[in-house]
Amino acid sequence: MRTTDLLTVGELSERSGVAASALRFYEGEGLIDATRTSGNQRRYQRGVLRRLAFIRAAQNVGLSLDEISAALATLPEGRTPTRTDWTRLSRTWRDRLDEQIAALRKLRDGLDSCIGCGCLSLQRCAVSNPSDVAAQDGAGARYLPRPLRAAPPSRR
């Protein structure tokens, strides 16, 4: 095993928990980048680990890779992002999470009243018809995280 400050895909995959195929995919999407050896193999700087942490965190908050990509694009070029840079990026998550929690609470409370009546009316029931929760036009909670279901068999 080499002992450089640069990481191979395998090493980065192991340390980050992100599959090597996903790392290549992310590179294609411009989310991370790598230098190449003379033999064309990828080598990653350690900073990529933090970038991956950001990506995973953002996904868990419900952002799409496109949105994450846009967020990462606001990082300063040229210099290594500081703690403050990362903090700025993640500050908006707080609001989004609050919105999500509020939306779920609304759903739950609607359910509580539904369970008593068994209504499930398409017109009136907050559970079957939460359009006020994920508003089509106005402000409000539009985002809920992607499913954090039991890890699919292929993902560790």
Bridge partners (DSSP) listed for residue 44: 7
Q: How far is the CB of 43 from a copy of itself (least distance, A)?
A: 19
2 versus 91: smaller Cβ distance to a copy of itself = 91
Q: Interface with a copy of itself includes 19 (CB under 8 A)?
A: no
Q: End-to-end distance of the chain based on CA atoms, in angstroms?
A: 23
Residues 62-89, buried b or exposed e (16+ Cβ, 10 A)? bbeeeebbebbeebeeeeebeeeebeeb
Partner interacting with residue 74 (select from a copy of itself, DNA, none; CB below 5-8 Å by kind) = none
Q: Interface with a copy of itself includes 50 (CB under 8 A)?
A: yes
DSSP H/E element including 53: helix 47-61
Q: How far is the CB of 146 from DNA (least distance, A)?
A: 7
Cα–Cα dist 74/62, whole Å:
19
Q: Interface with DNA includes 21 (CB under 7 A)?
A: yes
Q: Interface with a copy of itself includes 71 (CB under 8 A)?
A: no
35 versus 94: smaller Cβ distance to a copy of itself = 94
* The dihedral sign for the CA sequence 8, 14, 17, 19: positive
Residue 154, exposed/middle/buried by CB under 10 A (0-12, 13-18, 19+)?
A: exposed
Cα–Cα dist 145/62, whole Å:
4
Chain contacts with DNA (rule: CB under 7 A): 1-2, 8-11, 13, 19-22, 24-25, 37-42, 59, 64-66, 146, 154-155
Chain contacts with a copy of itself (rule: CB under 8 A): 15-17, 49-50, 52-54, 56-57, 60-62, 82-84, 86-87, 90-91, 93-94, 97-98, 100-101, 103-105, 107-108, 111-112, 114-115, 117-118, 120-122, 125, 127-130, 133-134, 136, 141-151
